[in-house]
Protein backbone atom coordinates (compact mmCIF):
# COMPACT_ATOMS: atom_id res chain seq x y z
CA UNK A 1 0.00 0.00 0.00
CA UNK A 2 1.43 3.39 -0.85
CA UNK A 3 0.49 6.16 1.51
CA UNK A 4 -0.62 9.65 0.60
CA UNK A 5 2.36 11.96 1.09
CA UNK A 6 0.42 14.46 3.19
CA UNK A 7 -1.39 12.01 5.48
CA UNK A 8 1.10 12.09 8.36
CA UNK A 9 0.41 9.73 11.26
CA UNK A 10 3.66 10.19 13.20
CA UNK A 11 5.52 13.48 13.34
CA UNK A 12 8.99 13.44 14.93
CA UNK A 13 10.72 16.81 15.29
CA UNK A 14 14.29 17.43 16.40
CA UNK A 15 14.24 14.46 18.77
CA UNK A 16 17.20 14.17 21.14
CA UNK A 17 18.45 11.60 23.63
CA UNK A 18 21.77 11.99 25.41
CA UNK A 19 23.44 9.39 27.63
CA UNK A 20 26.17 10.20 30.13
CA UNK A 21 28.74 7.43 29.90
CA UNK A 22 31.71 6.99 32.24
CA UNK A 23 34.94 5.70 30.70
CA UNK A 24 38.28 5.61 32.48
CA UNK A 25 37.14 8.02 35.16
CA UNK A 26 35.75 10.55 32.69
CA UNK A 27 32.15 11.35 31.86
CA UNK A 28 31.32 11.48 28.17
CA UNK A 29 28.17 12.53 26.41
CA UNK A 30 26.75 10.10 23.87
CA UNK A 31 24.23 11.86 21.67
CA UNK A 32 22.40 8.63 20.83
CA UNK A 33 19.63 10.46 18.95
CA UNK A 34 20.86 13.84 17.78
CA UNK A 35 18.16 16.07 16.31
CA UNK A 36 16.13 13.47 14.41
CA UNK A 37 13.07 14.61 12.41
CA UNK A 38 10.77 12.43 10.33
CA UNK A 39 7.18 12.48 9.14
CA UNK A 40 5.76 8.97 8.78
CA UNK A 41 2.83 8.53 6.39
CA UNK A 42 -0.26 6.57 7.31
CA UNK A 43 -0.10 3.00 6.01
CA UNK A 44 3.52 3.04 4.90
CA UNK A 45 6.39 0.82 5.95
CA UNK A 46 9.17 3.16 6.95
CA UNK A 47 12.54 1.48 7.23
CA UNK A 48 15.27 2.75 9.53
CA UNK A 49 18.75 1.44 8.84
CA UNK A 50 22.24 2.04 10.19
CA UNK A 51 25.15 0.27 11.81
CA UNK A 52 25.11 -1.02 15.35
CA UNK A 53 25.26 1.85 17.85
CA UNK A 54 23.82 4.53 15.54
CA UNK A 55 20.80 5.04 17.81
CA UNK A 56 18.05 2.91 16.23
CA UNK A 57 16.91 1.19 19.43
CA UNK A 58 17.14 4.39 21.44
CA UNK A 59 14.91 6.09 18.88
CA UNK A 60 12.39 3.23 19.16
CA UNK A 61 12.51 3.26 22.97
CA UNK A 62 11.86 7.00 23.11
CA UNK A 63 8.90 6.63 20.71
CA UNK A 64 7.48 3.86 22.89
CA UNK A 65 7.94 5.84 26.10
CA UNK A 66 10.53 3.33 27.38
CA UNK A 67 13.16 6.08 27.55
CA UNK A 68 12.70 9.78 28.19
CA UNK A 69 13.57 12.24 25.42
CA UNK A 70 15.96 15.10 26.17
CA UNK A 71 14.48 17.35 23.52
CA UNK A 72 12.16 17.57 20.56
CA UNK A 73 8.57 16.49 20.04
CA UNK A 74 6.68 13.45 18.80
CA UNK A 75 3.00 13.45 17.89
CA UNK A 76 0.84 10.54 16.80
CA UNK A 77 -2.35 11.66 15.05
CA UNK A 78 -1.67 15.07 16.56
CA UNK A 79 -1.40 13.68 20.12
CA UNK A 80 1.75 14.27 22.14
CA UNK A 81 3.56 10.93 22.57
CA UNK A 82 6.10 12.37 24.99
CA UNK A 83 3.38 13.61 27.36
CA UNK A 84 4.40 12.72 30.89
CA UNK A 85 0.81 12.84 32.15
CA UNK A 86 0.09 9.22 33.08
CA UNK A 87 -3.47 9.06 31.88
CA UNK A 88 -2.77 10.59 28.45
CA UNK A 89 0.21 8.33 28.17
CA UNK A 90 -1.79 5.18 28.83
CA UNK A 91 -4.12 6.02 25.94
CA UNK A 92 -1.37 6.51 23.42
CA UNK A 93 0.56 3.47 24.68
CA UNK A 94 -2.01 1.16 23.12
CA UNK A 95 -1.73 3.00 19.80
CA UNK A 96 2.00 2.44 19.38
CA UNK A 97 3.32 -1.07 19.93
CA UNK A 98 6.75 -2.59 19.68
CA UNK A 99 8.10 -5.89 18.39
CA UNK A 100 11.48 -6.62 19.97
CA UNK A 101 14.57 -8.19 18.48
CA UNK A 102 14.95 -11.10 20.81
CA UNK A 103 11.82 -13.23 21.13
CA UNK A 104 13.60 -15.34 23.77
CA UNK A 105 14.29 -12.43 26.08
CA UNK A 106 11.05 -10.55 25.49
CA UNK A 107 8.75 -13.36 26.62
CA UNK A 108 8.43 -14.35 30.27
CA UNK A 109 9.26 -18.09 30.41
CA UNK A 110 6.83 -18.66 33.29
CA UNK A 111 3.82 -17.13 31.53
CA UNK A 112 1.68 -18.97 29.05
CA UNK A 113 1.58 -17.62 25.52
CA UNK A 114 -2.01 -16.50 26.05
CA UNK A 115 -1.13 -14.54 29.20
CA UNK A 116 1.80 -12.88 27.42
CA UNK A 117 -0.36 -11.88 24.48
CA UNK A 118 -3.05 -10.53 26.83
CA UNK A 119 -0.65 -8.72 29.17
CA UNK A 120 -1.03 -5.15 27.90
CA UNK A 121 -4.77 -5.64 27.52
CA UNK A 122 -4.94 -6.80 31.15
CA UNK A 123 -2.95 -3.79 32.36
CA UNK A 124 -5.14 -1.35 30.48
CA UNK A 125 -8.37 -3.27 31.25
CA UNK A 126 -9.51 -3.51 27.65
CA UNK A 127 -11.22 -6.91 28.01
CA UNK A 128 -14.96 -6.96 28.74
CA UNK A 129 -14.87 -10.48 30.21
CA UNK A 130 -12.71 -13.61 30.45
CA UNK A 131 -14.44 -14.85 27.36
CA UNK A 132 -13.73 -11.64 25.47
CA UNK A 133 -10.10 -11.93 26.58
CA UNK A 134 -9.83 -15.49 25.28
CA UNK A 135 -11.44 -14.50 21.99
CA UNK A 136 -9.16 -11.53 21.44
CA UNK A 137 -6.08 -13.59 22.29
CA UNK A 138 -7.28 -16.33 19.93
CA UNK A 139 -7.83 -13.84 17.12
CA UNK A 140 -4.36 -12.35 17.58
CA UNK A 141 -2.77 -15.83 17.55
CA UNK A 142 -4.79 -16.73 14.45
CA UNK A 143 -3.66 -13.54 12.73
CA UNK A 144 0.01 -14.45 13.16
CA UNK A 145 -0.52 -17.96 11.82
CA UNK A 146 -0.23 -19.85 15.12
CA UNK A 147 -3.87 -20.46 16.07
CA UNK A 148 -5.74 -20.09 19.34
CA UNK A 149 -4.56 -23.47 20.66
CA UNK A 150 -1.10 -21.95 21.23
CA UNK A 151 -2.53 -19.85 24.08
CA UNK A 152 -1.86 -22.70 26.52
CA UNK A 153 1.75 -23.20 25.37
CA UNK A 154 4.87 -21.92 27.09
CA UNK A 155 7.78 -20.16 25.36
CA UNK A 156 10.17 -23.13 25.79
CA UNK A 157 7.84 -25.29 23.70
CA UNK A 158 8.14 -22.95 20.72
CA UNK A 159 10.71 -22.39 17.97
CA UNK A 160 12.36 -19.00 17.48
CA UNK A 161 10.04 -18.14 14.62
CA UNK A 162 6.97 -19.13 16.65
CA UNK A 163 8.12 -17.01 19.58
CA UNK A 164 8.51 -14.00 17.33
CA UNK A 165 4.97 -14.64 16.07
CA UNK A 166 3.84 -14.48 19.70
CA UNK A 167 5.72 -11.19 20.02
CA UNK A 168 3.84 -9.89 16.99
CA UNK A 169 0.47 -11.15 18.30
CA UNK A 170 1.15 -9.31 21.55
CA UNK A 171 1.89 -6.13 19.61
CA UNK A 172 -1.24 -6.21 17.44
CA UNK A 173 -3.83 -7.31 20.04
CA UNK A 174 -4.78 -3.78 21.18
CA UNK A 175 -5.29 -2.74 17.52
CA UNK A 176 -2.46 -0.22 17.41
CA UNK A 177 -2.07 2.41 14.69
CA UNK A 178 1.70 2.10 14.58
CA UNK A 179 3.98 -0.90 15.10
CA UNK A 180 7.68 -0.31 15.67
CA UNK A 181 9.66 -3.47 14.93
CA UNK A 182 13.25 -3.25 16.19
CA UNK A 183 15.42 -5.83 14.39
CA UNK A 184 12.49 -8.28 14.45
CA UNK A 185 14.23 -10.94 12.36
CA UNK A 186 17.87 -10.40 13.33
CA UNK A 187 17.84 -13.16 15.96
CA UNK A 188 16.15 -15.69 13.64
CA UNK A 189 17.58 -18.28 11.28
CA UNK A 190 17.82 -16.98 7.73
CA UNK A 191 15.30 -19.60 6.60
CA UNK A 192 12.73 -18.22 9.05
CA UNK A 193 13.42 -14.53 8.39
CA UNK A 194 11.47 -14.36 5.13
CA UNK A 195 8.38 -15.94 6.74
CA UNK A 196 8.32 -13.38 9.53
CA UNK A 197 8.94 -10.51 7.08
CA UNK A 198 6.06 -11.72 4.92
CA UNK A 199 3.83 -11.98 7.99
CA UNK A 200 4.62 -8.39 9.01
CA UNK A 201 3.92 -7.12 5.49
CA UNK A 202 0.67 -9.06 5.29
CA UNK A 203 -0.54 -7.90 8.72
CA UNK A 204 0.34 -4.33 7.89
CA UNK A 205 -1.86 -4.44 4.79
CA UNK A 206 -4.70 -6.39 6.41
CA UNK A 207 -4.91 -4.40 9.64
CA UNK A 208 -4.19 -1.03 8.05
CA UNK A 209 -1.13 -0.54 10.25
CA UNK A 210 1.72 1.81 9.81
CA UNK A 211 5.01 -0.02 10.28
CA UNK A 212 8.35 1.32 11.35
CA UNK A 213 10.88 -1.36 10.53
CA UNK A 214 14.32 -1.07 12.11
CA UNK A 215 17.37 -3.10 11.09
CA UNK A 216 21.13 -2.87 10.62
CA UNK A 217 20.67 -4.87 7.40
CA UNK A 218 19.86 -2.68 4.39
CA UNK A 219 19.03 -5.74 2.30
CA UNK A 220 16.24 -6.72 4.71
CA UNK A 221 15.03 -3.13 5.13
CA UNK A 222 14.87 -2.46 1.38
CA UNK A 223 12.81 -5.62 0.84
CA UNK A 224 9.94 -4.65 3.14
CA UNK A 225 9.98 -0.83 3.19
CA UNK A 226 8.26 1.82 1.09
CA UNK A 227 10.71 4.49 2.22
CA UNK A 228 13.99 4.20 4.08
CA UNK A 229 15.73 6.58 6.48
CA UNK A 230 19.46 6.05 6.94
CA UNK A 231 20.76 6.84 10.42
CA UNK A 232 24.38 7.70 11.21
CA UNK A 233 25.59 8.74 14.69
CA UNK A 234 22.05 9.56 15.75
CA UNK A 235 21.30 11.72 12.69
CA UNK A 236 19.39 11.08 9.50
CA UNK A 237 21.77 11.26 6.54
CA UNK A 238 19.48 10.06 3.76
CA UNK A 239 15.74 9.57 3.20
CA UNK A 240 14.41 8.05 -0.02
CA UNK A 241 11.93 5.60 -1.54
CA UNK A 242 13.38 2.12 -0.88
CA UNK A 243 14.01 1.28 -4.53
CA UNK A 244 15.69 4.57 -5.31
CA UNK A 245 17.92 4.24 -2.26
CA UNK A 246 18.92 0.72 -3.22
CA UNK A 247 19.65 1.39 -6.89
CA UNK A 248 20.95 4.95 -6.66
CA UNK A 249 22.29 5.83 -3.19
CA UNK A 250 23.20 9.51 -2.82
CA UNK A 251 24.97 9.59 0.56
CA UNK A 252 28.45 7.99 0.75
CA UNK A 253 27.38 6.23 3.95
CA UNK A 254 24.42 4.61 2.17
CA UNK A 255 26.92 3.43 -0.46
CA UNK A 256 28.96 1.87 2.33
CA UNK A 257 25.93 0.02 3.69
CA UNK A 258 25.15 -1.26 0.18
CA UNK A 259 28.73 -2.46 -0.29
CA UNK A 260 28.26 -4.60 2.79
CA UNK A 261 25.37 -6.53 1.21
CA UNK A 262 26.52 -9.67 -0.60
CA UNK A 263 25.25 -9.63 -4.19
CA UNK A 264 25.06 -12.77 -6.26
CA UNK A 265 25.67 -10.94 -9.54
CA UNK A 266 29.27 -9.59 -9.56
CA UNK A 267 28.47 -7.05 -12.29
CA UNK A 268 25.96 -5.41 -9.94
CA UNK A 269 28.48 -5.21 -7.15
CA UNK A 270 29.32 -1.71 -6.04
CA UNK A 271 33.08 -1.37 -5.99
CA UNK A 272 35.58 1.21 -4.93
CA UNK A 273 32.95 3.50 -3.49
CA UNK A 274 33.76 3.39 0.18
CA UNK A 275 36.07 1.26 2.26
CA UNK A 276 34.17 -0.79 4.77
CA UNK A 277 35.51 0.18 8.15
CA UNK A 278 34.47 -0.25 11.73
CA UNK A 279 31.78 2.11 12.96
CA UNK A 280 33.45 4.81 15.05
CA UNK A 281 33.20 5.11 18.80
CA UNK A 282 30.12 7.01 19.88
CA UNK A 283 32.25 8.75 22.50
CA UNK A 284 33.94 11.04 20.01
CA UNK A 285 32.15 14.01 18.52
CA UNK A 286 33.43 15.41 15.23
CA UNK A 287 32.89 19.03 14.26
CA UNK A 288 31.27 19.40 10.85
CA UNK A 289 29.96 16.27 9.14
CA UNK A 290 29.85 13.23 11.46
CA UNK A 291 30.80 10.92 8.56
CA UNK A 292 33.78 12.90 7.23
CA UNK A 293 36.53 10.74 8.76
CA UNK A 294 35.27 7.70 6.83
CA UNK A 295 34.22 9.54 3.68
CA UNK A 296 36.16 9.43 0.40
CA UNK A 297 34.53 12.67 -0.77
CA UNK A 298 35.32 14.74 2.32
CA UNK A 299 36.77 18.23 1.75
CA UNK A 300 37.49 21.16 4.03
CA UNK A 301 33.88 22.31 4.20
CA UNK A 302 32.96 18.92 5.72
CA UNK A 303 35.28 19.62 8.65
CA UNK A 304 33.88 23.04 9.37
CA UNK A 305 30.18 22.82 8.60
CA UNK A 306 27.62 20.15 9.45
CA UNK A 307 25.58 19.41 6.31
CA UNK A 308 21.83 20.04 6.52
CA UNK A 309 19.38 17.48 5.22
CA UNK A 310 18.23 18.90 1.86
CA UNK A 311 16.05 17.83 -1.04
CA UNK A 312 18.10 16.52 -3.96
CA UNK A 313 15.22 15.08 -6.02
CA UNK A 314 11.46 14.69 -5.48
CA UNK A 315 11.03 12.70 -2.25
CA UNK A 316 14.79 12.37 -1.74
CA UNK A 317 16.77 14.04 1.03
CA UNK A 318 20.49 13.88 1.73
CA UNK A 319 22.74 15.44 4.36
CA UNK A 320 25.98 15.77 2.38
CA UNK A 321 27.83 18.80 1.00
CA UNK A 322 28.76 16.81 -2.10
CA UNK A 323 25.51 15.01 -2.95
Ligand X SMILES: Nc1ncnc2c1ncn2[C@@H]1O[C@H](COP(=O)(O)OP(=O)(O)O)[C@@H](O)[C@H]1O
Residues that bind ligand X (CB under 6 A): 19, 21, 30, 32, 50, 52-58, 282
In this structure, what DSSP letter does residue 4 have?
A: P
CA 148 to chain centre: 28
Query: Contact region for Mg ion (CB under 5 A) — 53-61, 119-127, 218-226, 309-317?
Result: 53-61
Q: Give the C-alpha distances (Å, rounded to integers) separating 6 from 3, 39, 73, 321.
A: 8, 9, 19, 28
Nearest CB to ligand X, comparing residues 56 and 321: 56
* Nearer residue to ligand X within complex by CB, 103 or 138: 103
Answer yes or no whether residue 215 interacts with Mg ion by CB under 5 A: no
Stretch that binds Mg ion, among 33-41, 56-64, 117-125, 173-181 (CB under 5 A): 56-64
What residues numbered 216-245 form the site for Mg ion, per CB under 5 A? none
Choosing among Mg ion, ligand X, none, which partner's interface includes residue 114 (Cβ < 5 to 8 Å by kind)?
A: none
Angle in degrees, 0-180, between the axes of helices 190-207 and 160-172, rounded to the nearest 10: 20
Residue 117 or 258 having the CB closest to ligand X = 258
Give, as one character, the DSSP assignment of residue 182: E
Residue nearest to Mg ion (CB): 57
| C-alpha span between 218 and 183 (Å, rounded) | 11
Output the 3-class SS for 257-311. HHHCCCCCCHHHCCCCCCCCCCCCCCCCCCCCCCCHHHCCCCCHHHHHCCCCCEE
Residues that bind Mg ion (rule: CB under 5 A) add up to a total of 2
Among 34, 45, 57, 210, which residue interacts with Mg ion (rule: CB under 5 A)? 57
Tell me the C-alpha distance between 91 and 186, whole Å.
Answer: 30
CB of 4 to ligand X, least distance (A): 30
Nearest approach, Cβ of 62 to ligand X (angstroms)?
Answer: 9
In the complex with ligand X, which residue's Cβ is closer, 21 or 276?
A: 21
Which residues is 213 bridged to in the sheet?
A: 47, 181
Residue 179 or 231 with smaller CB distance to ligand X:
231
Task: Give the interface with Mg ion as residue ranges (CB under 5 A).
Answer: 56-57
Amino acid sequence: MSAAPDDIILDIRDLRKVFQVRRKGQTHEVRAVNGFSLQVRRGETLGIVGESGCGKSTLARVLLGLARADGGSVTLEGRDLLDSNRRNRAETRLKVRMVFQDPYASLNPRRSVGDSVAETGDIHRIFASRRDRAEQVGRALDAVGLGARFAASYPHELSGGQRQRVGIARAILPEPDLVVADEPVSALDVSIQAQVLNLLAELKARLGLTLMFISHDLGVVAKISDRVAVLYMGEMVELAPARALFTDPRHPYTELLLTAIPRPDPSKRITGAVEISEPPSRLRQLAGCPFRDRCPRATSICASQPPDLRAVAPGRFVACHHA
